[in-house]
Amino acid sequence: MLNHLKQLHKVWTSPGNRQARTSAVVRSVKWFISKRWSDQKIIRPIFGDRQFIFYKDGFVANSLMLFSEWSEYDSLKLIDTFLRPEDSFLDVGANVGLFTILASRHVKDGLIVCVEPGRVQRERLMEHLQLNHIKAEVFPYAVGNEEKTVSFNIGDAVAHIALQQATDSPKMEMVDIKKLDTFLPRRKYSLMKLDVEGFELAALEGASGFLSEGLFPVILFELNGSSDRYGIAPEQIVTFLTKQGYTLGVYRHDSGTFDTTAKLWEDVLAVNSEGLQMLRDRIPHLKII
């Protein structure tokens, strides 16, 4: 009971539920009950004119039901505010496509590219692309700094490259690691979302060509300690990007700030000189601290 009350408190206080807290609590309770009694997927609107398939076993679906379509509040609000029709958007670790769905509302003339190695996640990503009539290039790779075949843990929430070779576990599958420099269409991507559960440093090292040419002006990624499983400290990722000429900070939508003095944890924004100017031009009254 205590755990349920804590969960309801999180629902009530979530920024995405701020405008409709009571209905959010009702929605989350209905979702909890429906998961117990039915495995049937449902389709609901998100982001105004887009649709999302809610699989009962889906981590992203569960997050949306509890915390609204703005479940990852500041990151999603950044995409919603920043992207323009002529932009190209790169979604590395696209999972089932939540960020791509939102990006598609803004990117019209540019290219949308999704990279997702997990088979089930990629199948659901493709369903969302078809359902929402989104044109995107999809690549079935993990990304890194060398090219080889590895074991991949396909857990919905924290899919990641395994440290040991695959066993007969149904949660493991073999995937190809590729460098972004090797397969990614060569162009400027105004915004890259990078979600590779701790493999960020290797992914960025495998994109050294794009980075040196300034083709990733804005990078949105997570620092949460998951790189520890690969023997990489978060500070190493920060140092690598800093040496590439990036300024790192935290974007807070409600206060309209890009805080370069904040602790770099959870959602982190990295911008090169062009990216910093793009933030200034595109986000009205942005305060850079």
Model confidence over 78-137: pLDDT tens digits?
999 999 999 999 999 999 999 999 999 999 999 999 999 999 999 999 999 999 999 999
Query: Of 241, 176, 235, 234, which Cα lies nearest the Cα of 205?
Result: 241
Q: Same structural domain for residues 20 and 81?
A: no
61 and 187 fall within a common domain: no
- Partners of residue 50 on adjacent β-strands: 46
- Which pLDDT tens digit goes with each residue over 247-289? 999 999 999 999 999 999 989 999 999 999 999 999 989 999 9
Q: What is the pLDDT of residues 33-60, one digit of tens each?
A: 887 787 788 999 999 999 999 998 888 9
Domain end point (choices 68, 99, 126) = 68
Q: How many residues does the chain have?
A: 289
Q: What pLDDT is stored for residue 166 in this prediction?
A: 46
Distance (Å, whole) CA 159 – CA 162 = 9
pLDDT digits (tens, 9 = 90+) for 190-213: 999 999 988 999 999 999 999 999
pLDDT value for 168: 53
Interatomic CA distance for residues 190 and 195, integer angstroms: 17
| pLDDT tens per residue across span 61-76 | 888 888 888 889 999 9
64 and 80 together in one domain: no
* Final residue of a structural domain among 33, 68, 103: 68
Whether 120 and 154 have beta carbons less than 8 Å apart is answered as: yes
Q: Are residues 121 and 41 in the same domain?
A: no
- Count structural domains, the chain: 2
* Structural domain containing residue 153: 72-288
**To which H or E segment does residue 288 belong?**
strand 287-288
Bigger pLDDT: 173 or 121? Answer: 121
Give DSSP secondary structure letters for 86-129. Answer: T--EEEET-TTSHHHHHHTTT-SSS-EEEE---HHHHHHHHHHH
Whether residues 192 and 270 share a domain: the answer is: yes
Q: Would you say residue 232 has pLDDT above 80?
A: yes
What 3-state DSSP class applies to 226? helix
Residues 90 and 78 in one domain: yes
Q: Is there a single domain that holds both residue 159 and residue 16?
A: no
Q: Of 35, 68, 101, which residue constitutes the final position of a domain?
A: 68
> Same domain, yes or no, for 106 and 216?
yes
Residue 139's domain is classified under what CATH number? 3.40.50.150
